[in-house]
């Protein structure tokens, strides 16, 4: 029997830490799969096939980022009602979120599938890789419902304080994905399309298994016919919270696309250094992102329980964990950045190694800002103020565009290295007063509710 876990009482630091670890392992697993998937395509299908996958990476992130953001947002009211012990409304939120997911995912899949060729044409995809890129993108977009439901169900389970179960399903999905990659590419000979089919199918299977497990093992989620009814007022609230979170991911992706485009114009060495640096950086920022996701559930439950003071305690505990981690990671990357780069390029590529190390040194120096960004943004989202948190994504986008348009032409790769850090600083400058505003409002709201009950 799976167990939900309340985070509304007890010391905040161990609660947040224990919740974060499975999220971290899952995030690292995803990064590992990304590398293995690219290696399989590149090794067995060649450079053009690998380029076909890479040609659509940014737009895939743009669309799937929106879907994943919505899923995270749909889990917030579930966490809030769980914290408030209002299990009837919680189950109704779950039922409505599943219906919304079905509708939104089909609409997104239909529109994006029809626009695949146009998207690749706008992105000036070379003719030599256009067909493969088209089929990869088409299959990925057709599979949006699988991705949507998989992430939504994981978000609902996490909202109940269980971060371990989603990890095991992610592990299953990853192993299945790799096996299907090899089957579709080596045995069936489906090429790049086979890689996309493997990803979509594995997520679809995981979504179905996750749904069956959730209904059988979480008694608190077992619904009556009344719970399953569609309720427009709950749907409106879910969209009010989920849509800004989805847009935040997409808005951030736009800035990243601009920065990537500016770097592409600097030449092959810069592109290779940037690619290697980004992949290494993604591994080391997994902890910060996982800590943020943990804070969303923690704050959502404590908001629902009417305990805003615990939200502030949680932020302080998460900040302490973040600082300890950042100190360790700075020591690692300042000492071994060049060696990590050798995982991607030959030792004779001195320029690429030097530039990648520069990129990593600059990035890790600003990890405290990224850590605060994750903690504050997800805390604000967990309390339901997703519109407010979305503007931090706008700040990030503006920063990256300014760096891309103004700084890169003047300072080249040096400016590229400061692209993401500048965005993190811009976001934190916005998020600090935004969190203070939200926290004051929460205390006022809770004080009024307590007074009304007296």
- Domain definitions of the chain by residue range: 12-447
Cβ proximity of 429 and 395 under 8 Å: yes
Q: How far apart are CA 356 and CA 340, in angstroms?
A: 9
- pTM comes to 0.81
pLDDT of 161 reads: 84
pLDDT of 51 reads: 58
* Cα-based angle 370, 374, 380 (whole degrees, multiple of 5): 140
Cβ proximity of 17 and 321 under 8 Å: yes
pLDDT of 189 reads: 86
User: Which region, left, alpha or beta, applies to residue 306 given φ > 0 means left and ψ of -120 to 50 means alpha?
Assistant: left
Instruction: Give me 116's structure tokens.
Output: 């695949």
CA distances 235 to 87, 230, 343, Å, are 17, 8, 47
pLDDT of 182 reads: 87
pLDDT of 357 reads: 92
- DSSP secondary structure string, 264-300? HTT-HHHHHHHHHHHHHHHHHTHHHHHHHHHHHHHHH
Q: How far apart are CA 304 and CA 54, in angstroms?
A: 42
pLDDT of 261 reads: 72
Cβ proximity of 420 and 360 under 8 Å: no
pLDDT of 344 reads: 65
pLDDT of 318 reads: 95
CA proximity to 6, closest of 66, 65, 64, 81 = 81
Instruction: Give me 226's structure tokens.
Output: 């009344």
Instruction: Give me 285's structure tokens.
Output: 């920022």
Cβ proximity of 75 and 159 under 8 Å: yes
CA proximity to 377, closest of 148, 101, 100, 69 = 69
Q: How far apart are CA 338 and CA 280, in angstroms?
A: 11
* pLDDT per residue of the chain (454 residues) written in tens, 0 to 9: 456 677 888 889 999 999 899 888 888 887 777 766 666 766 677 656 665 565 566 677 778 888 888 888 898 888 888 888 899 999 999 999 999 999 999 999 999 999 888 877 776 666 777 788 888 889 999 999 998 998 899 889 888 888 888 888 888 888 898 899 889 888 888 888 888 899 899 989 989 988 888 888 888 888 888 888 999 999 998 998 888 888 887 887 777 777 777 776 777 677 777 777 877 888 898 899 899 989 988 998 998 888 889 999 999 999 999 999 999 999 999 999 888 888 766 788 788 889 889 999 999 999 999 999 999 999 998 888 888 888 888 898 899 889 988 998 898 889 989 999 999 999 999 999 999 999 999 888 888 877 776 6
Identify the H or E element spanning 76. Answer: helix 57-83
Q: How far apart are CA 420 and CA 432, in angstroms?
A: 18
Alpha helix segments (H runs only) across 115-264: 116-122, 127-142, 144-159, 164-182, 191-217, 232-264
pLDDT of 248 reads: 80
Instruction: Give me 62's structure tokens.
Output: 């743009």
Does residue 311 sit in helix, strand or coil? helix
* Cα-based angle 163, 169, 175 (whole degrees, multiple of 5): 135
């Amino acid at each position: 029997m799976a167990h939900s876990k309340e985070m509304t009482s007890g010391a905040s630091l161990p609660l947040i830490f224990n919740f974060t670890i499975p999220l971290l392992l899952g995030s690292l697993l995803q990064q590992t799969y990304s590398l293995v998937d690219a290696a399989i395509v590149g090794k067995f299908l060649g450079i053009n096939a690998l380029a076909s996958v890479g040609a659509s990476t940014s737009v895939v992130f743009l669309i799937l980022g929106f879907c994943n953001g919505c899923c995270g947002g749909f889990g917030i009211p579930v966490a809030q009602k769980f914290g408030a012990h209002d299990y009837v409304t919680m189950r109704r939120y779950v039922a409505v979120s599943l219906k919304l997911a079905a509708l939104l995912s089909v609409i997104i899949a239909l529109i994006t599938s029809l626009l695949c060729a146009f998207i690749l044409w706008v992105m000036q995809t070379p003719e030599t890789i256009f067909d493969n890129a088209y089929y990869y993108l088409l299959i990925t977009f057709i599979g949006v419902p699988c991705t949507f439901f998989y992430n939504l169900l994981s978000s609902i389970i996490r909202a109940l304080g269980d971060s371990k179960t989603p990890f095991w399903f992610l592990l299953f999905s990853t192993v299945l994905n790799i096996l299907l990659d090899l089957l579709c590419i080596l045995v069936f000979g489906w090429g790049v399309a086979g890689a996309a089919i493997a990803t979509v199918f594995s997520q679809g299977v995981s979504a179905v298994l996750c749904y069956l497990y959730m209904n059988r093992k979480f008694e608190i989620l077992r619904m009556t016919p009344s719970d399953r009814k569609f309720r427009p007022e709950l749907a409106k609230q879910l969209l009010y919270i989920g849509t800004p979170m989805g847009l935040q991911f997409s808005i951030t992706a736009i800035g990243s696309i601009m920065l990537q485009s500016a770097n592409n114009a600097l030449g092959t060495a810069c592109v290779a250094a940037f690619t290697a640096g980004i992949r290494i950086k993604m591994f080391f920022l997994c902890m910060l992102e996982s800590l943020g996701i943990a804070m969303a559930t923690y704050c959502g439950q404590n908001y629902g329980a009417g305990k805003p003071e615990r939200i502030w305690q949680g932020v302080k505990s998460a900040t302490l964990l973040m600082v300890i981690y950042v100190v360790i990671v700075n020591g690692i990357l300042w000492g071994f950045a060049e060696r990590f780069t050798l995982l991607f390029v030959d030792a004779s590529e001195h320029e690429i190694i030097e530039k990648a190390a520069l990129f990593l040194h600059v990035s890790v120096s600003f990890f405290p800002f990224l850590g605060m960004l994750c903690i504050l943004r997800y805390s604000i989202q967990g309390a339901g103020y997703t519109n407010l948190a979305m503007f931090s994504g706008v700040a990030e986008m503006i920063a990256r565009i300014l760096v891309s348009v103004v700084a890169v032409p003047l300072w080249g790769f040096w400016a590229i290295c400061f692209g993401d850090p500048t965005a993190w600083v811009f976001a934190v400058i916005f998020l600090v007063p935004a969190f203070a505003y939200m926290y004051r409002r929460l205390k006022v709201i809770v004080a009024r509710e307590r007074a009304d009950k007296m």
